[in-house]
Structure 1
């Protein structure tokens, strides 16, 4: 899978089985996990299977105003917790079968997965404090 570095914006080839090994950019050595990973239909399923870290997914669409407003909050949280939790964004318009499979009825929807199984879901654009509370609840249960 190709992952874009949050600092230098170069693409890095990252084997999915190395997601929990705190991968760094080959060019600038910045952590590749301090920014959300854009997933598609194929990589999303592989990420859920391969990740030893809990995964938080932002199901969104490009035409959704609340999704656009929430994106910076999600990205800021990834900067803080990106090596403890894997942040993934999934465009439900470009990948409708994933939205259907996970019964996504409104966006943005956040879902947290542990060991490939969904453990919590919440819909709506969360304020930063509420997102951090949700994340800390799941990180404390590890």
Structure 2
């Protein structure tokens, strides 16, 4: 992917490869033709959407397993958004609300939130329970970039 960046369409979930030089040219999704968000902002997904993204992404996928009532999850959210923006196009950042979508969290036996998981080449490569900030958060994804 050195010659392009990867962005997920928020409307249809399609993964789109965009030339780095065209990132800010208001690119559109190749499938549904909706405007792509190229900021890298974390996207909320369902269990099925997460499985599709992980299976087809050529870039690492960071998943934030969270819940709206979780204080540490809310504290971590802006740090995740910042990380996502800094690595936009080279890291896909997704959020899975464990209150609404329980299947994946159950399959992974996630017992505390927030839990961060990194997928590489379609497989779970790293798991970090608990909120981490600053250099520790960067260290979660650094080996996969």
Q: TM-score range by the shorter chain?
A: 0.7 to 0.9
CA RMSD, 1 decimal: 2.2
After superposition, residues 50-129 of structure 1 pair within 5 angstroms as 50-129=56-135
The gaps in structure 2 that reach 5 residues or longer are 1-7
Which runs of structure 1 show a deviation greater than 6 angstroms over 4 or more consecutive aligned residues? none
The alpha-carbon distance between structure 1 residues 90 and 25, as it changes in their structure 2 partners (threshold 3 A), is farther
Equivalent residue of 1:113, what SS? Answer: strand
For 1:14 and 1:117, how far apart are their aligned partners in 2? 19
**Would the aligned equivalents of 1:33 and 1:86 in 2 still touch at CA under 8 Å?**
no
Higher helix share goes to which structure?
A: 1
Query: 2:43 is matched with which residue?
Result: 37
Deviation (angstroms), 1:73: 0.2
Query: 2:3 is matched with which residue?
Result: none
Equivalent residue of 2:72, what SS? Answer: helix
For 1:89 and 1:130, how far apart are their aligned partners in 2? 19
TM score, norm. by length of structure 1: 0.79
Equivalent residue of 1:72, what SS? Answer: helix
The gaps in structure 1 that reach 5 residues or longer are 4-11
1:15 equivalent to 2:21? Answer no
For 2:103 and 2:12, how far apart are their aligned partners in 1? 25
**Would the aligned equivalents of 1:59 and 1:108 in 2 still touch at CA under 8 Å?**
yes
